[in-house]
A and B are shown apart, each in its own frame.
Chain A
Amino acid sequence: MTARSHHTLSVLVENRPGVLTRCAGLFARRGFNIDSLAVGTTQDPSRSRITIRVDCSQHSVEQVIKQLYKLVDVLKVQELDTTAVELELLMIKVTSTPERRSEIIKLAEVFDASVVDVGPEALTFSCVAGPDRLQALEQLLEPYGIRELVRTGRIALDRDGELGTRKRMRVVA
């Protein structure tokens, strides 16, 4: 009941001013700590999807899902399980003299990272992957000197078909 673990919530909302604040405020108010949060519009421009990672107990996550449903602008809340596709975008600026460029670029290519900027003293990569892979890339680039790093926070979708064992909130009615 009280054991904490990570949960990914996919929240479909009306695309209106203040919706993100309402959702994020609810987490703060009820004492939930957000690990990461990403928001963007969906195929329907009147709707947005907020992907929220929280670290809390199962009982708490059920409470927060019910509380989210009470927000008038929230249309659907799904808790995604481990089979969901989860990705995150990382951009990282690494110190690089012209002599070391090719070495670093080769390393990054192993992770399917792309070069988005080349400067006299630094290289900037972007990489889309799951959290473990991004972590590994970051560790490998660390010795060269990381100047700046930014991550979007995770976005996720559940899988189609058999794999997708959806844990959708069941509201007892």
Chain B
Amino acid sequence: MDSDRRRMTGAEAVIRSLEAEGVTDVFGLPGGAILPLYDAWAACEHTIRHYLVRHEQGAGHMAQGYARATGRVGVAIATSGPGATNLVTPIADAYLDSTPIVCITGQVPTHLIGTDAFQEADITGITMPVVKHSWLVDRVEDIPRVVKEAFHIARSGRPGPVLIDIPKDLQLAEFEFSYPKQVDIPGYKPSRHGHPKQVISAAEAILTAERPVFYVGGGAVSANVDPGDLIRVAESVQMPVITTLMAKGVFPDSHPLCIGLPGMHGSKAANWAMNQADLLVACGSRFDDRVTGKLDAFAPGAQVIHMDIDPAEIDKNRAAQIPIVGSLELVVPKLAEALQSRMNGGPPKAAPWLQTVQDWKRQHPFRYRNTEPLKPEYVIERLRDLTADRDVIWATGVGQHQMWAAQYLQIDLPRRWLTSGGLGTMGFGVPAAIGAKVGRPDATVINIDGDGCFQMTMQELATAKMYGIGAIHVVVNNGWLGMVRQWQELFHGERYSETLLESSSPDYVKLAESFGLPGFRCETVDEVDAAITAALECGGPCVIDARVDHEEKVYPMVPAGAAAAEMIDVEWAEDDNAWVEDGV
């Protein structure tokens, strides 16, 4: 971008600013108050691709999927009022999962603000609790600086969503454009380097621990921590590694030290390991209630090392004896070096502990009884196995299918697993997968969705069709709001209040066809491979309707409010050949 000043409208300035930030793809839907920006979009020469969505929520989640898959900032555009309020859910989702997105909304003209004008909503006010920062632009000259600050704040420190609200008259106003080279925000200086003494204290604590557990969270993905550095830390003392739902893939699932998912539907090995640990090495994880269960009973004997970019995470839910505030991609390699330089060559102190945890993992794998009707876990296992030779990015909705996917998929690289962890947003899967495929067209993108979730955002199939965005959408169709049904069965006396979908659900194959997309169905074990293979071979967007057992439940499970070590599980028998283990 040349720094020559040039006269232009606020609308063109937005486009030039996006170009200056290196943006190549945005997701949005026009409307009255954002019309000048869309007019400039058509009138100006530029290289940014715009994807027209069918609902602004889709634009927001696509921006999230794009950001999470690529590590770049996602951009969503909407008009004022309802367009802007439709972005609230993705913004809240991005806030809880620390996803860097920039949302640009039109606002009614300045002189109408505060008059309850047509399509007026105080979107900076509405989103205030769920944005990292926001701006209501009040001078056209501020547009370049605000966009510069917005991208900087969204992507640096603990990433998060930001919102820029631009009144229509300012989009039309002209001014001398120049893009700032530097950003200077006095109140925003995220810490970078962890304190060296704290890193050494952490290394010494890890070396003397008898039962250490490496508790890796989504912050490690956000920070682009080199998986090799995580592996060096874990291998130096042969420490078992727990990866939270948000961290899946940042430490390879296939690594022998990886114990995998903790928490409500995590493995027994992971929950028992955390609860019997004498040292938790938290790395970009936040002691979320879905991980800890009853907080007072969580890991009662453990000291805590807590590495995080966000000082507010330290001592929030669990007190840390050794806090390290800094960028994880800098802190983790320093910790690895500190550990390696202090190794005395003898067998790690924690070796017997590792043996115990690995035995638990072997003895208590995720498992299901592979009988008729078709089991959802089987569908997910076949998706995993039939794509083993591909670079796959997985997206999910929220609910049972999400948990089965987390349990049975094997992911060995970061940014291959896109799920709504914090907010638990049903409907995340379809648009997130589309956004990911836009950002990573070379990858195979598969959305493992539930039928309840799919019906929330399935209109984005039109977006997929329009641009040929070839993500595969697998509807794990059990005809229920399955996770709610599971709770009703287990904890609410089998009163299935308002959770049955099947009688009124669409035919997902015909639905796909009505969008002009191929649809495939499987209802028995014999049909699964053919449907998956056909979907993989069709090369474009498509839908698989996998009709599965209505009553299958996700196990093991920590009941809400219980201690994480107290997991409930199904009874199973060693001599029953129908049992299938996850094989990971």
Binding site for B on A (CB under 8 A): 13-14, 17-18, 21-22, 25, 29, 59, 62-63, 66-67, 69-75, 171-173
Q: Which residues of B have CB within 8 Å of A173?
A: 191, 193-195, 325-326
Among B153, B187, B193, B325, the residue within 8 A (CB) of A75 is B187
Among A14, A17, A66, A71, the residue within 8 A (CB) of B186 is A14
Which chain B residue has the least Cβ–Cβ distance from A172? B323
10 residue pairs of the A-B complex, CB under 8 angstroms, read: A14-B187, A63-B315, A66-B314, A69-B312, A70-B312, A71-B133, A71-B187, A75-B187, A171-B311, A171-B325
Among A14, A63, A75, the residue within 8 A (CB) of B312 is A63
A21 to B194, CA, bound (A): 32
Task: Given A21-B128, A172-B198, check contact A63 B191 (CB 8 Å).
Answer: no
Among B124, B132, B191, the residue within 8 A (CB) of A171 is B191
Docked complex: B276-319 residues within 8 A CB-CB of A: 310-312, 314-316
Task: Given A25-B128, A63-B316, A172-B195, check contact A72 B311 (CB 8 Å).
Answer: no
A63 to B324, CA, bound (A): 16
Among A13, A17, A69, A72, the residue within 8 A (CB) of B185 is A72
Q: How far is the CB of A120 from chain B (nearest CB, A)?
A: 40
Cβ contact within 8 Å between A62 and B315: yes
Among B136, B195, B311, B316, the residue within 8 A (CB) of A17 is B136
Binary contact readout B119-159 vs A (1 if CB under 8 angstroms, 0 otherwise): 00000110011001100101000000000000001000000
A18 to B165, CA, bound (A): 13
A122 to B129, CA, bound (A): 45
Q: How far is the CB of B170 from chain A (nearest CB, A)?
A: 15
A63 to B193, CA, bound (A): 22
B-side interface size class: 20 to 34
Task: Given A72-B153, A74-B187, A171-B191, check contact A29 B129 (CB 8 Å).
Answer: yes
A72 to B135, CA, bound (A): 11
A113 to B325, CA, bound (A): 50
Which chain A residue has the least Cβ–Cβ distance from B312? A66
Q: How far is the CB of A32 from chain B (nearest CB, A)?
A: 14
Cβ contact within 8 Å between B198 and A18: no
Among B129, B153, B188, B325, the residue within 8 A (CB) of A172 is B325
A25 to B134, CA, bound (A): 14
Binary contact readout B441-452 vs A (1 if CB under 8 angstroms, 0 otherwise): 000000000000
Which chain A residue has the least Cβ–Cβ distance from B162? A72
Q: Which residues of B have CB within 8 Å of A63?
A: 312, 315-316
Binary contact readout B162-187 vs A (1 if CB under 8 angstroms, 0 otherwise): 00000000000000000000000111
Task: Given A66-B311, A172-B323, check contact A25 B129 (CB 8 Å).
Answer: yes
Cβ contact within 8 Å between B195 and A18: no
Which chain B residue has the least Cβ–Cβ distance from A26? B129
Query: In this complex, which of B185, B187, B325 has the most chain A Cβ atoms within 10 angstroms of its Cβ?
Result: B187
Which chain A residue has the least Cβ–Cβ distance from B190? A70
Cβ contact within 8 Å between A59 and B315: yes
Among A18, A69, A70, the residue within 8 A (CB) of B136 is A18
Docked complex: B310-363 residues within 8 A CB-CB of A: 310-312, 314-316, 323-326
A29 to B129, CA, bound (A): 7
Contacts A17-B138, A21-B128, A172-B195 aside, 12 further interface pairs with beta carbons under 8 A come to A14-B187, A25-B128, A29-B129, A63-B316, A67-B312, A70-B312, A71-B133, A72-B185, A75-B187, A172-B323, A173-B191, A173-B326
Which chain B residue has the least Cβ–Cβ distance from A63? B316
Which chain B residue has the least Cβ–Cβ distance from A21? B128
Query: In this complex, which of B136, B186, B326 has the most chain A Cβ atoms within 10 angstroms of its Cβ?
Result: B186
Q: Which residues of A have CB within 8 Å of B153?
A: 72
